Amino acid sequence: MNVGASRQFRPQRAILFDLDGTLIDSAPDITAAVNELLAGRDLARLRVDQVKAMIGGGVTKLVERAFAASGSPLSGSALEEANRDMAPIYRRHLTGLTRLMPGVREVLTHFHLNGTAMGVVTNKPQLATREILLHFHLTEYLGAIVGGDAVTHLKPAPDALLLALDQLGVEPTDALMVGDSSTDVGAARAAGMPVILLRGGYTQVPVEEIGADLVCDSLLDLPSAMQKLGAAA
């Protein structure tokens, strides 16, 4: 664990989790969806590592990045059409290849038993998010689930975090954001929340360089990481 710059840190009443790269490893499913879309236009397949680098800005940004990487960038009405085609494809590739990240169920159970409110905030569409969380039986732990289409502005804007906290009845200074990328750090900072990042997620920038309050190896380290962050504040 690496402690970053200290900020005011109070005992947490709530934890907000990112989804892709934080709670779930969804890159194989997302890659399958992207490649089905590209194949429909006779374009070459992309590798999982290529698609993983595109995850985090929502489905629209994913499609734009995928076509750019394929050598056939789209814009305007052509990009809008590709996004319409992607919608049903994306919904067919939500849970077939997706797996939970290590320690998810154990950590959510730990905080649930301790009375900590929890929510998921993601740029993934709301219905897709709920379907995935239901598939893995995680909704019972969560008091708020906010997808990208439930707010006006995607992360790194704070909208999703603030909506989730409003649903949980918790102030930002009493909550923690847990994610894997600069998008999560930006959203947490804009919302006025401390943030912990996990290694092994979907970021092309080393997590130590993104500016989180603390970085830890996995979700299993989160309880001790929170204690360490509180002691450093």
The string of pLDDT tens digits covering residues 129-181 is 999 999 999 999 999 999 999 999 999 999 999 999 999 999 999 999 999 99
Confidence at residue 233, expressed as pLDDT on a 0 to 100 scale: 58
Round to whole Å and give the CA distance between 137 and 1. 29
Q: Are strands 2-3 and 99-100 parallel, antiparallel or unpaired?
A: unpaired
Q: Can you tell me the distance from the alpha carbon of 125 to that of 138, in angstroms, rounded to the nearest whole number?
A: 17
pLDDT of residue 231: 66
- Indicate the pTM of the whole model: 0.93
Look up residue 222 and give its two tokens: 């989160």
99-100 and 117-121 strand pairing: unpaired
223 CB-near residues (< 8 Å, 6+ apart): 107, 110, 111
Low-confidence ranges of the chain (pLDDT < 50): 1-7
pLDDT at 1: 44
Strand order through the sheet with 2-3? 2-3, 214-216, 195-198, 175-179, 14-17, 117-121, 144-146
Contact assessment for residue 159 and residue 151, using Cβ atoms and an 8 Å cutoff:
yes
Residue 229 has a pLDDT of: 78
Active site residues per annotation: 18
CA distances (Å), origin 184, targets 114, 194, 218? 24, 11, 16
The pLDDT value given to residue 61: 95
Token pair in block for residue 24: 């779930």
